[in-house]
Structure 1
Amino acid sequence: MTTQVSKVVALRAAPSLQASEATKGEHTERQVDWVSLLVIAPAILILLGFLALFFYGVYQSLTDLRLGRPVVRFVGFANYVALMKTSEFWNSVRVTVVYAVSAVFIEALLGLMIAKLFASGVTLARWLRPLILLPLVLPPMSVALMWTTMMNPQSGILNYLFSLVGIGPFSWISSPATSLISVILIDVWTYTPFFALIIFAGLQGITDDLREAARINGAKAWATFVNIELPLVAPYILIAALFRLIESFNQFDIIFGTTQGGPGNSTSALSVQAYITAFQNLTFGRGAAMMVVNWLIVLIGAMLTVKLWQAVRRRVN
């Protein structure tokens, strides 16, 4: 009889014990959530700060804000309409797109070639691996000033070297015909190592079994690269291209440090023109509108690159 009573008491107590354990578990989970929230709180605050600045910039683009104007009026999309009626704005859009797309395409191509050289294991590649990082560690403004000196038409070292083989002289950044090509060349020199490192990491992840299987099936080195290695590293190339497109669309240091948007408006990208409009012409509302347009171009370019990356990933997998 005593044994049966104790069993009944134990059965009745079991749900209460389970409920208390569940309550303790929920309490523990709440503590973990609070700790996690405290850990990520600084990142959330920084993100909210950036978002607040961004939306304030969007608001500024809808006003006639100008230095010295006592009353700021809300003008809606008047700044955007005025911009689209000017040829300078469309020239800036063209320069921005041509600069970003050309620089990223050339960097991806050269980066793939350098990464393939590194993966080959030749002696030259071992010497070049430490040196390839040099452009990446230099500040962009320092790079711009260095290349401005080297591209000087009268005293620059580039024209001197070309003159030794009977080529040139070139105007480089001094002529509207060559200035955009020159700043693209500077960007390519600076950021090609970024592509090379990312693609080299992708090539290192390809096992030798795949290459050996291709050799057994009679595939030559070029066929192995095109049909096996290139499809497998394509996602890495697109990831690098995504980051570089975002940065190239917003490029300011290299262009402003070398040409300041000139000669004329041949290198007047949206970021440079927005700076000139806002901080030199002091029309902050119009400058903010140009930066919002630049942001839209960056967003479209990034979305297209991500879509392409997803398609390549599905095909590789």
Structure 2
Amino acid sequence: MYSSGLDAIVTLQSSVSQLASAQDGAAKSASPPRLDWWSIAAIAPAVLILLGFLFLFFYGVFQSLTDLKFGRPLVHFIGLTNYAALIKTDDFWNSVRATLVYAGSAVLAEAVLGVALAKLFATEVFLARVMRPVILLPLVLPPMSVALMWTTMMDPQSGILNYLLSLVGMGRFAWISDPATAMISLVLIDIWTYTPFFTLIIFAGLQGINEEIREAARVNGAKGWATFLYIELPLIAPYILIAAVFRLIESLNQFDIIFGTTQGGPGNSTSVLSVRAYITAFQNLAFGRGAALMVVNWIIVLAGAFLTVKLWRYVRQRVS
């Protein structure tokens, strides 16, 4: 009888201690977490830089809503007047067209050539072994250096490109000196510079394809082109589109190559929005109007990137 009573007391004490431990644990978990100052210090520079960029962006948007101009002592808020004035000018729409043509042509051509070169690099032919070490060379060159180099090469009188054309019996080509060919010439420069970017990303996608998938296609009688079109191309489509997102953003914002070669000319044939905004703001000193042009350019970039990302998500869902 006494032993059973002792057992009951011991069991009760054990239950009380477990309940107290649970309450202590609940109290500790309910207490607010301590701040990790080291983590905060580590991310603080990135947060400050992001806030700085956001401040500059919104300040630029505010400038586009004013009549800010060099030498004007007072700045007035004029709302959407700058945008209304731009829409009424033919030069603005010409710049929009030039921006879309330049970016669309360059990105499409680079995607096609990038797929071809990536497929070439996936083989062991002699040309692939020669090109692999030098494929990154255009990407590491500063864009302004690329512009100056191609300006010299495309000189109608003394450029090496016309000399090479003369060796095969072709006449002189105007390149960037003629409004009819200037945009094509700029797209060729962009293709030479940024096709390696597409090539590297697509090549990584090809390397990630399981060899058993290709082998199964061969066993079922699929030839080389059929394997590429129906097996490899759908699998690397997300890689193509993610590269296109980055290149589309950069192409719509392209300034260095265009300004370094043509400065928007001849005439207005290559005057994309970024170049026109620079000329308006820093040569004509109409900073409010120039800021409005850059805001329009940003809206076009945002729309293009959004649509491309939506397409990428759709293709990724289909592939997976």
The TM tier, using the shorter chain, reads over 0.9
Give the corresponding residue for 1:207: 210
* Corresponding residue of 1:4: 8
Cα deviation code 1:78-110 (max 9, x no counterpart): 000000000000000000000000000000000
TM-aligned CA deviation for residue 26 of structure 1: 6.0
1:186 maps to what in 2?
189
Equivalent residue number for residue 141 of structure 1: 144
Structure 1 residues 312, 21: CA separation in 2 closer, same or farther (over 3 Å shift)? same
Corresponding position of 1:108: 111
2:179 counterpart SS class: coil
1:273 to 267, 272, 276: 276
The residue that corresponds to 1:222 in the other structure is 225
**Partner deviation per Cα, 1:228-259 (whole Å, 9 max, x = no partner):** 00000000000000000000000000000001
Q: What residue in structure 2 maps to residue 79 of structure 1?
A: 82
Which position in structure 2 is the counterpart of 1:256? Answer: 259
The alpha carbon displacement at 1:309 in A equals: 0.5
Cα shift readout 1:236-291 (whole Å, capped 9, x = no counterpart): 00000000000000000000000111111110000000000001100000000000
Paired with 1:142 and 1:28, the residues of 2 have a C-alpha distance of: 56
1:164 aligns with 2:164: no
* Alpha-carbon distance change, 18 to 126 in structure 1, aligned in 2, over 3 angstroms: farther
Q: Does 1:301 align with 2:304?
A: yes
Structure 2 CA distance, aligned partners of 1:185 and 1:99?
10
Q: Given the alignment of the two structures, is residue 287 of structure 1 paired with residue 285 of structure 2, yes or no?
A: no
> In structure 1, what is the equivalent of residue 34 of structure 2?
30
Aligned partner of 1:20 in structure 2 is 24
Amino acid at match of 2:305: A
- 2:95 aligned partner, one-letter code: S
Question: Equivalent residue for 1:176?
Answer: 179
Counterpart residue type for residue 30 of structure 1? R
Residue 39 (structure 2) pairs with residue 40 (structure 1): no
Q: Distance in 2 between matches of 1:233 and 1:270?
A: 32
One-letter code aligned to 1:230 = L
Provide the C-alpha distance between the structure 2 equivalents of 1:191 and 1:22, rounded to a whole number of angstroms: 58
Question: What is the root-mean-square deviation in Å for CA atoms of aligned residues?
Answer: 1.5
Aligned mate of 1:63, from 44, 63, 66: 66
Q: 1:207 deviation in Å?
A: 1.2
Q: What does residue 317 of structure 2 align with?
A: 314
Over 3 Å counting, the alpha-carbon distance change for 1:75 and 1:4 in structure 2 is same
CA distance in 2, matches of 1:280, 1:80: 19
> Which has the larger Rg?
2
Corresponding letter in the other structure for 2:13:
V
**Which of 46, 51, 55 does residue 54 from structure 2 map onto?**
51
Show the counterpart of 1:196. 199
The 2-side partners of 1:39 and 1:167 are apart by 61
Shift, 1:121, TM fit? 2.1
How many pairs align?
316
C-alpha displacement of 1:76: 0.2
1:304 maps to amino acid: L
Residue deviations 1:16-68 (CA, integer Å, cap 9, x gap): 32233344456695345x54433322222211111111111000000000011
CA distance in 2, matches of 1:19, 1:187: 67
Which residue type is aligned with residue 296 of structure 1? I
CA distance in 2, matches of 1:23, 1:94: 65
Please report how far the alpha carbon of residue 167 of structure 1 lies from its aligned counterpart in structure 2 after TM superposition: 1.1
- Counterpart of 2:157, as a letter, is Q
SS at match of 1:66: coil
AA matched with 1:61:
S
Find the residue that maps to 2:74 and give its secondary structure: coil
In the alignment, structure 2 segments of 5+ residues that lack a partner are: none
2:25 and 2:245 mapped to 1: Cα distance? 49
1:264 match: secondary structure: coil
